[in-house]
Amino acid sequence: MTEMRRFEGHGVLISGAARGIGAATARRLAEEGAQVLVTDVDLAEAERTAASIRERIGACAEAFVCDVGDRASVEAAVAYAVDAFGSLDVLVNNACGCTPDAPLFEDEPDEVWARDLDLTLTGAYRCCRAALPHLVASGRGAIVSIGSVNGIQDFGNHAYSAAKAGLTSLTRTLAGHAAARGVRVNLVAPGTVRTSAWEGRDADLAAVREVYPLGRVGEPEDIAAAVAFLASRDAAWITGTTLCVDGGLLAVNTGFRQAVRGHGDA
């Protein structure tokens, strides 16, 4: 458990927080003193995550059902957080949708495209819109969205990648709008992270690991640590930025280096 207490008394809302990166972020911020609202469409799993935080950390954590695809649901979650914690100081946009691509681009259904963009990009927009007045009122408001290296470089998944790229752009434009109101807006772009999406795919993860310069895939806690930094006062002079937490994936072409190894550098 971290000894830092950067979020003492802060009210935090995290979307898609029942498991994976969202749950790890809820635990990390709670360890640092935050009061955390674990929101998700899966209320039972969100309640288990919140209960685990209360039992293991002794922090204030509550669960609330929230569908980021529904404006009323988002507004209800924000109102609940403000009422429960007295303020909303940090919003973490983690909920997303990622549907496997059709074999041919021209066979992609409209509904798949629309769903992934709605959950990943428009869902974050809905959360930011509902939360922003409260983040302004707190005097220390911060938004951190979970993007992806997919929004920066081609790793497949057309709709998901386009949505994550849009979230990177929204981070910049909202940062410009919110700066004068005292709210910082940043984004973490993870590479491959070991979550339930990879369950039962150990061989695939082992193969993927080989392309990462640091020799491993990410863990949810790696991303949670980056979110905690950007949401904290340690990042008080940082806004509108994308922080890649990707084991060096975007910086180093590991495949190329391996191809020319023994033949001199190109």
Closest CA to 7 of 125, 88, 79: 88
Residue 183's region, left for phi above 0, alpha for psi from -120 to 50, else beta, is beta
Q: Is 212 considered catalytic here?
A: no
Rounded to whole angstroms, how far apart are CA atoms 182 and 99?
36
In this structure, the chain runs to a length of: 266
Count of CB atoms situated within 10 Å of the CB of 139: 10
Residues 6+ apart with CB under 8 A from 79: none
Catalytic residue among 80, 125, 160, 212: 160
Residues 6+ apart with CB under 8 A from 25: 14, 17, 92, 94, 220, 223, 224, 227, 228
Catalytic residue among 80, 125, 164, 212: 164
Distances (CA, A) of 252 to 146, 150, 258: 22, 16, 11
Residues 6+ apart with CB under 8 A from 130: 71, 74, 75, 77, 78
Residue-by-residue DSSP string for 44-105: HHHHHHHHHHHHHH---EEEEE--TT-HHHHHHHHHHHHHHHS---EEEE-----PPPPSSG
Residues marked active site are found at 160, 164
